């Protein structure tokens, strides 16, 4: 028993050490990439992208299910984006609330008959609508297919542009977001096949006329902790992975893809739980199978603001679903592991997701239990416990603080010094007890998936109207 506990505790120590060392390497890589990006954007004039005849049209796909609290504001936001040729397709995914009714009233929709070829698999389409006041707006009313991927496929079938941009209905884009996210595409259209932008937490901020009026940190602790998570995930994780062309996830809330390639792989997998990571992984596979040179990029300055869960029940549902989605992608693509054909994706990116993301809740929860058992049996070394705190808590906290400081040194979205102090102080709370709660929720997600429960779950949201109401 003693040997087992000593081995388990030592294994957890080295696991945390490897995990945090990997993040430290990513932090240094992200700093290097961020400095280069800051240098590039100093001379970037988004006006030339807008005016250039080479700028390709974009079709925005916005799936919406029971989004009556957000839909009008979200559509108005997208219709006023600073981009020359834009088509907007809203997919009403079998909503049971007033989502479709509000769209009809606000934008004077009328039924139309149009050619609709169902190349990508989706639930049946009931009706297509055009707006009498906004000529580039198309609304698709369809039966619910039970997933966001199914809804996006219906929009993909109707898209007419060479690029699609997928946006969530509870999100808003900054006015120049599309111009900025398309900059890598225009710089190298032959190689860049997809680009992701940064997603930031909207909670606590104020909207006016579908635009960001004032950026503020949320009041609730659970929302502030998610701000730190998002900063670390995007400014460190995705910045570093994309720098080596190993990015495996472009957020479903904001990403641009070449339409022909998405159609070539059959669109989104209609029953995918994590449709964002699933699509990008399949794009990597497709391009490497064909032996073509390509890049999937991440750009940290085009911003999408989205509503994060504000209660523990909704957050638990979201994180359980994310873990289900991860398992739903990694298992079918397991044959990519360590195969020379898939290069760095198969040798580094996918193994990292298996070891430090998928198996993390199992390893960490089991490790913590063995530490508790060792303490109860009087076999816990004080020296080991101090090392565990240093590498499992303090080290991780420093990396979170690094992501906050990186944000303040570069993009400075939180201009109030009190917000910055709160962000840094909450970095000390993120890894205990918040991290342990996440581990339990992710374990729950894996268990649900293994017993066949692939439901998305319900998130309680205030909607974009709540962000507007704050200023009144």
pLDDT digits (tens, 9 = 90+) for 135-178: 999 999 999 998 999 999 999 999 999 999 999 999 999 999 99
> Which residues, 6 or more positions from 166, have their beta carbon under 8 angstroms from its beta carbon?
60, 61, 62, 152, 252, 254, 255, 257
Least confident of 16-25, 158-167, 176-185, 454-463: 454-463
Task: Report residue 171 as tokens.
Answer: 């999100």
82: nearest Cα among 213, 174, 190: 174
**Residue 387 in this model has a pLDDT that exceeds 80:** no
Class of 20-322 in CATH: alpha beta
pLDDT digits (tens, 9 = 90+) for 247-269: 999 999 999 999 999 999 999 99
CB 427 within 8 A of CB 400: yes
Assign 43 a pLDDT band (cuts: 50, 70, 90): low
**Residue 8 in this model has a pLDDT that exceeds 90:** no
Backbone angles phi, psi at 144, to 5 degrees: -75, 130
Task: Report residue 247 as tokens.
Answer: 């990015």
Distance in Å from the first CA to the final CA of the chain: 63
Alpha carbon distance 256, 6 (integer Å): 49
Alpha carbon distance 93, 100 (integer Å): 10
Q: Where exactly are the structural domains of the chain?
A: 2-16+352-461, 20-322
**Residue 208 in this model has a pLDDT that exceeds 90:** no
DSSP label of 303 = E
pLDDT over 90, % of the chain = 69
Alpha carbon distance 102, 99 (integer Å): 5
Q: DSSP per residue over 33-46, as a string?
A: HHHHHHHHHHT--H
Average pLDDT, the chain: 91
**How much is the pLDDT for 357?**
96
**How much is the pLDDT for 430?**
87
Assign 457 a pLDDT band (cuts: 50, 70, 90): low
Assign 470 a pLDDT band (cuts: 50, 70, 90): low
> Which residues, 6 or more positions from 404, have their beta carbon under 8 angstroms from its beta carbon?
228, 231, 420, 423, 424, 427
């Amino acid at each position: 028993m003693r040997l087992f506990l000593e081995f388990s505790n030592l294994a957890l120590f080295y696991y945390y050490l490897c995990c945090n060392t990997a993040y430290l390497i990513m932090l240094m890589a992200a700093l290097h990439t961020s400095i280069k990006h800051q240098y590039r954007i100093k001379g970037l004039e988004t006006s030339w992208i807008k005016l250039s005849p080479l700028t390709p049209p974009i079709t925005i796909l916005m799936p919406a299910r029971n989004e009556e609290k957000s839909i009008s504001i979200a559509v108005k936001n997208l219709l006023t984006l600073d981009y020359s040729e834009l088509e907007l397709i809203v997919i009403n995914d079998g909503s049971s609330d007033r989502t479709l009714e509000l769209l009809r009233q606000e934008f004077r929709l009328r039924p139309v008959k149009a050619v609709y070829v169902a190349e990508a698999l989706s639930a049946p389409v009931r009706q297509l609508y055009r707006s009498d006041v906004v000529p580039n707006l198309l609304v698709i009313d369809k039966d619910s297919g039970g997933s966001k991927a199914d809804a996006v496929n219906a929009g993909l079938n109707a898209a007419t542009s060479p690029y699609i941009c997928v946006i969530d209905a509870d999100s808003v884009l900054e006015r120049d977001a599309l111009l900025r996210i398309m900059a890598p595409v225009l710089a190298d259209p032959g190689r860049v096949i997809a680009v992701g932008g940064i997603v930031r937490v909207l909670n606590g901020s104020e909207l006016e006329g579908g635009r960001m009026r004032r950026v503020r940190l949320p009041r609730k602790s659970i929302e502030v902790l998610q701000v730190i998570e998002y900063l670390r995930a995007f400014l460190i994780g995705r910045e570093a992975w994309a720098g080596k062309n190993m990015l495996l996830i472009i957020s479903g809330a904001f990403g641009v893809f070449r339409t022909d390639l998405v159609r070539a792989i059959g669109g989104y997998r209609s029953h995918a739980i994590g449709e964002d990571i699933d699509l990008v992984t399949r794009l990597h596979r497709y391009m490497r199978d064909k032996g073509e040179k390509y890049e999937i990029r991440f750009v940290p300055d085009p911003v999408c603001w989205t509503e994060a869960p504000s209660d523990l029940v909704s957050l638990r549902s979201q994180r359980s679903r994310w873990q289900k989605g991860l398992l739903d992608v990694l298992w079918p693509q397991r044959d990519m592991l360590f195969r020379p054909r898939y290069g760095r994706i198969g040798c580094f990116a996918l193994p990292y997701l298996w070891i430090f993301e998928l198996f993390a809740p199992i390893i960490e929860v089991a490790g913590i239990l063995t530490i508790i058992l060792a303490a109860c049996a009087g076999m816990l070394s004080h020296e080991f416990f101090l090392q565990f705190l240093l590498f499992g808590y303090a080290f991780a906290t420093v990396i979170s603080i690094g992501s906050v400081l990186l944000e303040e040194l570069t993009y400075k979205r939180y201009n109030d010094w009190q917000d910055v102090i709160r962000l840094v102080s909450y970095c000390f709370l993120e890894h205990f007890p918040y991290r342990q709660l996440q581990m339990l929720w992710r374990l729950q997600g894996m268990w649900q998936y293994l017993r066949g429960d692939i439901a998305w779950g319900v998130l309680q949201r205030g909607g974009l109207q709540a962000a507007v109401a704050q200023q009144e």
